[in-house]
Structures are given as C-alpha cells and as structure tokens.
Structure 1
Amino acid sequence: MYYLKTTLIRLTLLFSIFHLGGLPVCAAEIALIIDDMGNTQRDEAAFSLPKEVTFSILPLTHLSQKFSKKAATQQREVMLHIPMESLAGKRLGPGALTADMSPESIRHTLAQALMSVPDAIGVNNHMGSKLTQLSLPMNVTMEFLIEHRLFFVDSRTTRYSKALKIAQQNGVLSAGRNVFLDNDNRPEKIDAQFQRLIRLAKKYGYAVGIAHPYPQTIEYLQKALLPAEQLDVELVTISELLQTQHLAGNQNLIEQQKSVELE
C-alpha cells in the first residue's frame, strides 16, 4: 500500500540521518485537503490540481466511488469526509454521525461510509461542532479508525473539539487543521489565507490547510501551487506530513488552532 511504502521510506530516511550523525535541512511542509468532494460533477475540476493534494470525499453520494477510484488512478491520496452533527443543526447528508447514535450504530455507519469511498486511507470530519466535543462518540470513532488503520485529521470546526486529543489517546496517527483557505471564497481572501498557511509552515515546520472545490479556489490553487523552490515550502501528501511529524515527535501547538473559524 502507498501509505505503508511512505512509512518505510520515512523510517529509512530518519535512520540514515541519525546514523550519519546529522540533521536534515528540509523545507517547511504544507499539506492541502480538498473537502466536500462528491457533491456535484463540478467538483471534478479539482482533479487538475497536483497529485499531492488530498481529496476528502463525502460518503454515499452518486460520485463517492467514482471520485475515489479516479483519485487512486492519479496516485492521489483519498480520505473519507464523514459528516458529524453540528451545533447549528445543519443538514448532514448520508452517512452522518449524530450524538444520539449508539456505539454499534456509529461503527455500522462508519463501515458503510468507508465502503462507499474504498480507497480512503484516512478520515476527517465534515462539520461536527457538536459531535467532536463528545467523548463517547469520538472514542468509538477512533477505535474504528485504529482497527482499520486509518489516520485522522480534525477539521477543527470548534475550538472545543476533543477529537484530536482522543485520536492521540487511542493511538491514531492524527493532526489538526491549521487554516481554512476559503471560508470567504473571494480570490484576495483565499490568497491571504494561503499566505498565512505558508507563514505557519515556515514558523513551525509544517501546516495543514483545508479548502473546498469551489471554482474560485481551484483556479487560485492551479496558479499558486508553484514548485517548492518558488513557494519556499514543500507541498506533500497528508500521510507524508503525518509520518514526518510523528517520527520527529513534533508536538508544536500552532497558533492558528487557537482561533478556529466557524463552520
């Protein structure tokens, strides 16, 4: 599996570094996730982005499996974008997890959702400002992820989310979102958020950005995702970033995570 190969490569690199008694000189890393993939055929425009950009696909839509398979043919990483209950009571769509579900129902729903995105190697939450604050459903979710060898990215739709902490307690390879690129999808606002992502990566060594398949976002990223030597950061897959930071034991708390945007 690609995920396993990445792990072995990183382990080999880390061993070589320490065996030689030196530390690597690495560019700061950014990972980008495009959420909400699979709602409409229009989302297919995102397939023009570099293959390092990960797609997080909504479950149980008429495009879930198609997009999952197409991304896999591009050697692009795929995640399951699982809907979770929000405080605002927003419409969740199929495959959603809610606070009133039993542990058995949560596991069954996750299994059905995962079957509809068969190439997923990780999960992040769609909405979830209510559910990610609740210990029981988060523990059940993380137990499911560890059983299926899936990583987790907390989209951080609330500053009170317990999801990342519970993921770490359960041994799930995990990270939190640092920047939403397009809560405001005006080009100048997207650019401001992208520059913020780069600044955070340079300051802390890495940063995770989440965006959506809006036409404005895709057009911006097609131009903005320049070669690493021009960006002065390296665009990597989310699994590569997770492995790098896990092996390095990086526990930095990113400032962005203290001021989470609303859903």
Structure 2
Amino acid sequence: MRVLLSVFLLSDAWAAGPGAAGPGAAGPGAAEPPAQKPRIAVVLDDFGLTYKKNVPDDKWMALKWPATFAVMPSSPLTKSAAKAALASGHELIIHFPFDPFLRLELPKDRVSPADLDKVTKLWQKCLSDIPGAVGVNNHRSEKATRNRPLMEAFMGLVKAQGMYFVDSWVSPKSVAKDEAAKAGLKTGRGTVFIDEAKRHDKAFCVRMLRRAATHARKHGWAIAIGHHYFQGTYDCLAEEAPKLQAEGFEFVPASAVVR
C-alpha cells in the first residue's frame, strides 16, 4: 500500500498555541506563573494495518511518555489494535480515510448523496470498531481535504461525538482544519512528518523531530506525525524523546495541543 507523505511546516499565522496568556492574565504584584514547557505531540498513524517489517505494537504501547495512536478502520486488526491502544493508557484516535479508499465523487459545490452515504457508513463503523477514541485525523485524502462541502459535512459528524480533529495536512490546499474550527471543534494541523514511505531511517526521523522541536520552542507546541511500521521511527523516538525531555520539552497527547 502506497503511503503518500510530505513534510509540511505550519505557517506562523496559526502559531500562538494553547496556553498563551491573554491580556491581563496576571495583575500587578501577582506571582509569575511557571513557564509552560514547549510541547510536542507525537501522532503515530496506521495502527491496524500491517506490513512485512512492522515494529511490534507492544513496543509502541510501552512508550514511557504520552503518544497518540491513530487506528485505521476496516482492517482485520482494527479492533485488536484499538483495544490495545486504549489499554496502554496512550491516547486513541480514528485515522479516517477518504480518498482513494472510498472512491468519492467529490463535486466542488455540494456533497453528493453517494459520498455522504459512504462517509457516514464508514464513520459509524469507526465508532463501533474503535471505541474510546477521543479524536480524528485523516489518512491520505489529498482530494477530500480540499473539498469544503465534504469537510463541512464530516466535521458535523465529528462534533456530534465531542471529538477533536487533527489535519494531517497532506495537501497544502487542505481546508479540513478551517472547517473543523468553523464547526467549533478543537483542532490542529500537523507540523512535520517524521517518516515517509521512502525515507524512514532513524537519521531522517531525528532531523524531522528536531524540526518539530524548533517549531515547539518558537510557538509552544508541535505535532509530529509518524507511522508504526518503521524501525527507524521507533529507534529515533526511543532515543531522542528522553533527550528532548532533558532539554525542557514535554511530550503530550494531541488533545493537549489542539485548540
């Protein structure tokens, strides 16, 4: 299965991040609140899907810092992966695939009944097979996330469950985060991908994770997205996360950085 991934950095336009103090947050003479550590949320996609050289899921579940596990629907391993992720104490979200998985029509000015039916049925299956999920991010879906009518309709489904939405930002023209915000969801956008289909060695992951840390140092937060398949990604996170913690960074679930 081909994984199309690109590295995107967030624009400074959405840079304040959670926890930013507003005007008048502390009056004269008030004690200064402790400075919040820069936060990094690591989202690991595609749990429930397997490839030949997968890192065993139990190694991910044993991570000593909070991570977010995104589980794919409609896989023979979906239910078991979701159950294990929930039992691990890490955050569980739905990794929702639009195109090319659902073969959508995607008219520009409306949502076709056929598209809405496909999306709604898969969403209902997600809720049944991935209980305990608190958020959603998109799997691929380069075309769907650019389609405003579909994103508006989908965010209504997500809002009804009280979940948050992370735009994986596989397309720079994505409107998914914008529509999530309009719907009143807590939302965010991926800062970097720490691995790719053709670049998943440890050195690449370290470089991208450090790029996420630079963003977090500047803006207070970053969302780093990777995949559970790759040994290089696991080795990178196992080694670099403690180093970054020692440097003053905090690893948090994605729910801690969406707003």
User: For this structure pair, what is the TM-score category when the shorter chain's length is used for normalisation?
Assistant: 0.7 to 0.9
Asked if 1:130 corresponds to 2:146, the answer is no
Letter in 1 for 2:136: V
In 2, the alpha carbon distance for the partners of 1:97 and 1:169 equals 26
Return closer, same or farther for 1:24/1:113 CA change in 2, 3 Å cut-off.
same
Q: How many residues align?
A: 222
Bigger mean CA offset, 18-27 vs 208-217? 18-27
Matched with 2:74 is 60
Structure 2 counterpart of 1:189: 204
8 A Cα contact 1:59 1:114, kept in partner: no
Q: C-alpha distance in 2, partners of 1:97/1:109? A: 12
Corresponding residue to 1:165 among 178, 189, 199: 178
Matched with 1:85 is 99
Tell which has more relative contact order, 1 or 2 (C-alpha 8 A, sep 6+): 2
Letter in 2 for 1:188: A
Correspondence 1:49 to 2:63? yes
Match of 2:234 in 1: 218
Is the 8 Å Cα contact of residues 142 and 166 (structure 1) preserved in structure 2? Answer: yes
Written as runs of structure 1 = structure 2, the 5 A alignment for 1:1-263 is: 22-40=32-50, 42=54, 43-44=56-57, 45-86=59-100, 92=101, 96=102, 98-100=104-106, 101-183=114-196, 184-213=199-228, 214-226=230-242, 229-242=245-258, 246=259
Residue identity (%): 23
| Residue segments in structure 1 that go unaligned for 5+ positions in a row | 1-9, 87-91, 247-263
**Partners of 1:121 and 1:240 in 2: CA distance:** 12
Q: 1:65 to 1:224 in 2, by over 3 A?
A: same
Q: Aligned partners of 1:233, 1:30: CA distance in 2, in Å? A: 7
Structure 1 residue matching 2:210: 3-state secondary structure: helix
CA contact (8 A) 2:203 2:236 kept: no
Q: Which runs of 5+ in 2 are unaligned?
A: 1-17, 107-113
Provide Cα deviations, 1:124-183, integer angstroms capped at 9, x if missing partner: 000011000001111111000000111000000010001000110111110000010012
For 1:108 and 1:188, the matched residues in 2 are separated by 40
Contact 1:72–1:78 (8 Å) recurs in 2: yes
Deviation at 1:27, TM superposition (A): 0.9
Amino acid at match of 1:98: L
Contact 1:85 1:99 in 2 (8 A): no
Q: Distance in 1 between matches of 2:26 and 2:88?
A: 34
Residue 34 of structure 1: SS of its match in structure 2? strand
How far apart, CA to CA, are the structure 2 residues paired with 1:124 and 1:36?
11
**Structure 1 CA distance, aligned partners of 2:61 and 2:95?**
17
Give, in whole Å, the separation in 2 of the partners of 1:38 and 1:231.
33
* C-alpha RMSD over aligned residues: 2.3
- Per the TM alignment, residue 208 of structure 1 is displaced from its structure 2 partner at its CA by 0.4
Report the structure, 1 or 2, having the larger helix content. 1
TM superposition score normalised by structure 2: 0.79
Q: In 1, Cα distance between the equivalents of 2:233 and 2:178?
A: 30
In structure 1, C-alpha distance between the alignment counterparts of 2:73 and 2:90, rounded to whole Å = 18
- Aligned AA for 1:239? S
3-state secondary structure, aligned to 2:184: coil
Cα pair distance change 1:81/1:97, threshold 3 Å? farther
Instruction: State TM-score, norm by structure 1.
Output: 0.77
